[in-house]
Amino acid sequence: MNKFRPIILAAAVVLAGLLAYGVWTRPSAKPADYEGFSAERVVKDIEVISKEHHSVAHPEERAEVREYLVQRLEGMGADTVKLYQYDSLVGPKNKHVVYTFDAVDVLAEFPPLTGTEDPTYLLMVAHYDSRYSQPMPKDTVWSYGAADDGYGVGVILETVSQALKARQDWKQGIKVLFTDAEEVGMMGMTAIWENNREVFDNVGFMINIEARGPWGPALLFETCPGNEKVMDLYAAAADYPFTYSLTTVVYSFLPNFTDFTIVKDEVPGMNFSTIADINHYHTDGDNFSNISPKSIQHYGAQVYPVTMEYLTNEAYADREYFKAEDDTTNFTVPVLGLFNFSKGMYKVVNAIVFVLFLLLLGFDGVRGRIKAMKVFKSSLAVLGLAVAVLAAGELVAWLSALIAGAKFKPFGVIHGIMFDNMAMVVSVVLMVAVSVLVYVSGRKKAVRLASGSMRASASVNAVVKHADNLLYGALSLMFVLSAVLLFTLGENIMFFIPLTIATAAMILYRLTSLKLWLVLAIAFVLLHAFSFFYALAMALTIGAFGAVAMLAFIDLMVLIPMADLYLTDIAVKKK
> Worst-scoring range by mean pLDDT, 184-188, 385-389, 550-554?
184-188
**Statement: residue 93 has pLDDT above 70:** no
Nearest-angstrom CA–CA distance, 575 and 568: 11
Burial of 368 (0-12, 13-18, 19+ CB in 10 A): exposed
**Who wins on pLDDT, 150 or 453?**
150
Average pLDDT, the chain: 93
Beta bridge partners, 205, equal 122
Write the pLDDT tens digit of every residue in 37-60.
999 999 999 999 999 999 999 999
Name the nearest CA neighbour of 134 among 199, 184, 201.
Answer: 184
Instruction: Report yes or no: 137 and 406 within 8 Å, Cβ to Cβ.
Output: yes
Give the class (CATH, top level) of 28-333: alpha beta
Give the sign of the dihedral formed by CA 44, CA 48, CA 52, CA 53: negative
Please give the torsion angle defined by the CA atoms of residues 57, 58, 64 and 67, in that order, rounded to the nearest 10 degrees: 10
- What pLDDT was estimated at residue 453? 53
Please state the rounded mean pLDDT for residues 426-448: 93
**Statement: residue 454 has pLDDT above 80:** no
**Statement: residue 572 has pLDDT above 70:** no
The CA distances from residue 407 to 135, 345, 393, in Å, are 11, 44, 16
Please state the rounded mean pLDDT for residues 199-209: 97
Please state the rounded mean pLDDT for residues 102-109: 97
**Statement: residue 120 has pLDDT above 90:** yes
- What pLDDT was estimated at residue 117? 85
pLDDT band for 71, please (50, 70, 90 cuts). Answer: very high
Percentage of residues in the chain with pLDDT exceeding 90? 82
**Statement: residue 1 has pLDDT above 90:** no
Domain range list for the chain: 2-19+347-574, 28-333
- What pLDDT was estimated at residue 352? 98
pLDDT band for 252, please (50, 70, 90 cuts). Answer: low
**Who wins on pLDDT, 114 or 83?**
83
**Statement: residue 470 has pLDDT above 80:** yes
Name the nearest CA neighbour of 353 among 231, 473, 492, 529.
Answer: 492
Q: What is the model's pTM?
A: 0.93
- What pLDDT was estimated at residue 80? 96
Write the pLDDT tens digit of every residue in 387-406.
999 999 999 999 999 999 99
pLDDT band for 256, please (50, 70, 90 cuts). Answer: low
- What pLDDT was estimated at residue 187? 95
Nearest-angstrom CA–CA distance, 435 and 383: 14
- What pLDDT was estimated at residue 255? 61
Please state the rounded mean pLDDT for residues 551-572: 88
Nearest-angstrom CA–CA distance, 163 and 498: 40
**Statement: residue 570 has pLDDT above 60:** no
Name the nearest CA neighbour of 203 among 325, 76, 82, 111.
Answer: 111
**Statement: residue 575 has pLDDT above 60:** no
**Who wins on pLDDT, 552 or 570?**
552
Please state the rounded mean pLDDT for residues 365-370: 92
- What pLDDT was estimated at residue 568? 86
- What pLDDT was estimated at residue 571? 42
**Statement: residue 483 has pLDDT above 70:** yes
- What pLDDT was estimated at residue 133? 85
**Statement: residue 249 has pLDDT above 60:** yes
DSSP label of 406:
P
DSSP per residue, 479-532? HHHHHHHHHHTS--HHHHHHHHHHHHHHHHHHHH--THHHHHHHHHHHHHHHHH
- What pLDDT was estimated at residue 116? 82
**Statement: residue 135 has pLDDT above 50:** yes
| Helix/strand/coil (H/E/C) assignment for every residue in 263-321 | HCCCCCEEEEECCECHHHCCCCCCCHHHCCHHHHHHHHHHHHHHHHHHHHCHHHHCCCC
**Statement: residue 101 has pLDDT above 60:** yes
- What pLDDT was estimated at residue 24? 81
- What pLDDT was estimated at residue 156? 98
Instruction: Report yes or no: 52 and 61 within 8 Å, Cβ to Cβ.
Output: yes
**Statement: residue 122 has pLDDT above 70:** yes
Burial of 513 (0-12, 13-18, 19+ CB in 10 A): exposed
Percentage of residues in the chain with pLDDT exceeding 70? 95
DSSP per residue, 14-36? HHHHHHHTTTTTSPPPPPTT-SS
